[in-house]
Every structure is written in structure tokens, then in C-alpha cells.
Homo-oligomer: A and B are copies of this chain.
Amino acid sequence: MGVGLTRKSGAGGRSTVRDVAARAGVSASTVSRVLGGEYPVSAATRTRVLRAVRELDYVADARARAVAGAGTPTLAFVLEDITGPSFAHMAYGVEREAARLGHLSLVCSTDGDVRRELEFIEMMRAQRAAAVILVGGAADTPEYRERTRRVADSLAAAGSRLVLCGRPPLGPGAPVTVIEYDNEGGAYALVAHVLAQGHRRVLFLGGKPDHTTAMGRQRGYLAAHRARGVEPDPALLLHGDFTRDSGHRLMRQALARGLEFSAVIAATDMVAAGALTALHEAGLAVPGDVSLAGYDDIPFARDLRPALTTVHVPYEELGRLAVRTALGHGGESADEHLLLGTHVVVRDSVAAYGGH
């Protein structure tokens, strides 16, 4: 028999353009024009349509609009952990800037799980996202490069764009925008500052051994030592993750093992916070007995006692920038590679070496 012509009339359910059209006594195209385009419509018709829209509480289906070519573009933001303050600030920047440019933004926390990351990117490709922003370090293995490269190509082929934020670049030729904040440079400056205070044995509470953010900071640590002619003791390089608990645990272990050091560089302010508590629990004064510094300059850094000397990273601006460059040249502009500067913020947690 005939296909079901039954159609829900406006009351209660979601209503369609045709419902509105029927109620206003015009055609669907007219409704669409009143709502959407710059097409000329007489005042009387417009009023009737708008009234029908109001009465039915109609909102055009965004997905359908998208399929038809109109519709709000979307942008995806993938990070490891939205709970981390620095990432959260970036997320804020991304979300604000995306909104400003008329884009919707999707957020995904991957927990560092590569599978989830890939799945999400695939979803975003299906959503025809205008850009996918990946943020946070990763293991820079050949496998990583190949995988990410493939993703980048897929996105590029679909007219989208991959943005790597604080992630290892993929080598030349990959259709990617890379934005890095200077992990090595910041750490270098910070450690140089500590060494200049006379410290010679500086403990480094790092991140995962293959994580590029952590490694960048570690490279800065090493470079600063070498520049000063100090041979860093490999035993002073500890690995954890970027959480507060990790900092707490690592510092406890270091103390228990009887490691000797007069200063501590934490890969993150969060790690520094945990470490500070561990030091305090051990009865050590900061910076009297041990100096301590962090990285990221999260707002809380000022409220630790002593206030934390750290490296400032403009996270919110970073997020905004990522969106802007990603969307600015949606097409095929030169593949950019930006490096954002950082600077040391000196507070009270680093003191001159007392030689105790």
C-alpha cells in the first residue's frame, strides 16, 4: 500500500518546516527563507511565518541544516585530562574562541588512552569537524608518527585540519598545524635560575619517560646543567605522571631512598604541590632546607606556601591561537609551526644554596 502519510501535527512533538509552512499557509521554502537567508519576503508573510514558528516553538534541525550545506561548523578539542588546570585553561581558550568565530566545540578527555583518542578523531571526521585540535604530549615513536600522519592526511582530504598543540611534530610535508610552547626553553631558564643560586644537585620529578612534554622539560634541565658545566646525576631523574599524587609519591620515595639534593624541579605545578606536601611531611622546610620549582604557573601556585617559583605558559592564549590558526586558513595554507615563548616567574620557593 501507500507509504504512511501520517505526520505528526505540531502539538507537543518536534515540528518540521512543513508543519510551520502549513500553519502559516505558505510553502516550506518560504519558511526556510524567512528563517535563514537574505531572500526578500514580504512583511506580511514574514509575520505570519514567525508567528507560526513561535506558536509551534520550532527550531530547525541543526543536523539537517548541516547536511543541506548550511549549519554551524564544528571543532573538536582532544586532551588527556580536563581535570588538569593547565588543560582546563586551554579548553577555556578554545571554547571561547570557537564560539567567537561561530563554531561549536566538542571536548574529549582521553585519559591518555591512544585508542580512545583515535576513536574520537574518527568520530570528528564523521562529524565533518572543521578542525581537530590535539593537545598534550605523547610518546614520540615511529608508530606514533605514522599513525598521526595517517590521521592528518585523512582529515586534510576531508577538508578538515589537524592541529597539534604541544605535541611532537610529524616531520615535513604533513598537513598539520603545530603549535608548541617552549618546554625546553622554559625549563632551561628555570633550572639556570636554580643553578645560579648555587644548587648543584637538583632533583627532577618528571613525567612518563616517553612523553614529549616531560622530555622537553627534561632536556631543558640537562642543557642548563651542561651550560653551567655541572654534570647532572642520572639518579636524580625520576619519572611519574603529571598528577599531584605522583609528585607526592615520587618525593616520598626520593626521601626514603636517601637521595641527596638541595633543590627540586617538578615537571608540573601539580607535581610540585604534591612534592611540597611530601617535603613538609618529612619535616623539611622549603626553601630553607630544599628549594622547589614547578612549571605551568597555574593560579594556585601563588597560594602554596612558600609561593611557587615556576614557568608561566599562556595556556588560554594558546587555546585561542590554536583555534584561530586552525580556522584562519581552513584550506591549504602553508603548514605553520609556531613556538610560544614562556618565562620564569620568580616567587619564594627557591633560595640560595646554604650548603647544609
Contact of A303 among B66, B81, B277 (CB under 8 A): B277
Are the CB atoms of A92 and B96 closer together than 8 Å? no
Are the CB atoms of A128 and B82 closer together than 8 Å? no
Of the A-B pairs whose beta carbons lie under 8 Å apart in the complex, a sample of 17, sorted by A's number, is A59-B158, A62-B127, A63-B67, A63-B71, A63-B128, A64-B67, A65-B126, A67-B67, A91-B107, A96-B109, A105-B107, A107-B107, A245-B299, A273-B303, A276-B305, A277-B303, A304-B305
Q: Which residues of B contact A345 (CB under 8 A)?
A: none
Are the CB atoms of A83 and B88 closer together than 8 Å? yes
Are the CB atoms of B62 and A126 closer together than 8 Å? yes
Q: Mark A301-315, 1 if CB is under 8 A from B, else 0.
A: 011110100000000
Are the CB atoms of B122 and A59 closer together than 8 Å? yes
Q: Which residues of B contact A104 (CB under 8 A)?
A: 106, 123
Q: Mark A76-116, 1 if CB is under 8 A from B, else 0.
A: 00000111010011011001100100001111110000001
Cα separation A107 to B106 with both chains bound (whole Å): 6
Contact of A157 among B57, B72, B96 (CB under 8 A): B57
- State the Cβ distance, A136 to closest chain B Cβ, in Å: 15
Q: How often does this chain occur in the complex, in copies? A: 2
Q: Which residues of B contact A14 (CB under 8 A)?
A: 128, 157-159
Contact of A63 among B91, B92, B127 (CB under 8 A): B127
State whether the Cβ of A217 lies closer than 8 Å to any Cβ in chain B. no
Using a CB–CB cutoff of 8 Å, the interface residues on chain A facing chain B are 11-14, 57, 59-67, 71-72, 81-83, 85, 88-89, 91-92, 95-96, 99, 104-109, 116, 122-123, 125-128, 154, 157-159, 244-245, 270, 273-274, 276-277, 280, 299-300, 302-305, 307
Q: Which residues of B contact A11 (CB under 8 A)?
A: 157
Cα separation A11 to B89 with both chains bound (whole Å): 36
Cα separation A75 to B71 with both chains bound (whole Å): 18
Contact of A125 among B59, B108, B128, B273 (CB under 8 A): B59
Smallest CB gap from A64: residue in B: B67
- State the Cβ distance, A304 to closest chain B Cβ, in Å: 6
Q: Which residues of B contact A91 (CB under 8 A)?
A: 82, 107
Q: Which residues of B contact A245 (CB under 8 A)?
A: 299
Cα separation A12 to B72 with both chains bound (whole Å): 22
- State the Cβ distance, A133 to closest chain B Cβ, in Å: 14
Q: Which residues of B contact A303 (CB under 8 A)?
A: 244, 273-274, 276-277, 304
Q: Which residues of B contact A72 (CB under 8 A)?
A: 123
